[in-house]
Amino acid sequence: MEDEAGPASLAPPAAAAAADVYVAVGKGGSSMEALSWALRRLASPRSFVYLVHVFPVVISIPTGLGMMPKSQASPEQVETYMNQERSKRRVMLQKYLDHCRNFQVNVDVYLIESDHVTNAILELIPVFHVQQLVLGVSKSKLRKFKRGNTIAGQVQKNAPLYCEVKIVRDGKEVTNFPNC
C-alpha cells in the first residue's frame, strides 16, 4: 500500500485533510447510516468525502458444478466473473455516490482488495493521513462492538492517535467503550 517515498508523499496538505472525511462502506444498512451521519455532522459543501470499500480477494470462480480455483478456470470464465463482481460493486456504490452528490460534497472511492477488512482500513490511515474516519455498526453487532470484537471496534482500538474514528449506529454516534 505504501510507495517507496513513504506515506507522507501521498498525504493531502494538512489544511485540506482536516475537512476530509473517510467513510467505510459495504453492503449493510449501517454503512448508509454512517454516511448520512458523516454528511450531516462532519462534511461541508467544499469537503471531500472518501468512500472506502474493502472487497475480498477472488480465489475461486463459481461454476455450474460448484466452486473452481481461479487458477484452474479459463481466462474467459475469470473475466466474466470479475466483470460481474465489478458490476455488483458499481451498483452497490452508486447509492452512496448519489447520496454524497445530494449533499453537494466532492466524493471519491477507494476500492481495496483484501480478505482482512480491519487491516486494510488500518493500513489506509497512515498512507492518506486520515484524520476523520466513520464506520457503521449494525444493531446486531453492537454487543460485539462493546467488547471490541467487530471491524469497527478493532479499527477504533488500533487507529493512530491522529485519526478520530467515529462509530455510528442507527444514525447516532456510539460513544467509546473501555475495551475499544
pLDDT tens digits along 57-111: 999 999 888 999 999 999 999 999 999 999 999 999 999 999 999 999 999 999 9
* 131 backbone dihedrals φ, ψ, rounded to 5°: -105, -25
The most distant pair of C-alpha atoms in the chain lies apart, rounded to whole Å, by 55
Predicted local confidence at residue 140, as pLDDT: 57
pTM beyond 0.95, yes or no: no
Average pLDDT, the chain: 85
DSSP SS3 for 179: coil
Residues making up the chain, counted from first to last? 180
Cα distance between residue 124 and residue 102, in whole Å: 26
Q: What is the mean pLDDT of residues 110-133?
A: 97
Q: How far is CA 52 from CA 9, 93, 96, 110, 141, in A?
A: 20, 10, 11, 5, 20
Predicted local confidence at residue 12, as pLDDT: 44
Q: Which fold has domain 18-58+69-169?
A: Rossmann fold (3.40.50)
pLDDT tens digits along 142-177: 555 555 678 988 999 999 999 999 999 988 998 755
Cα distance between residue 150 and residue 161, in whole Å: 19
Give start and end residues of each alpha helix (H) in 2-141. Answer: 14-17, 29-41, 75-102, 117-128
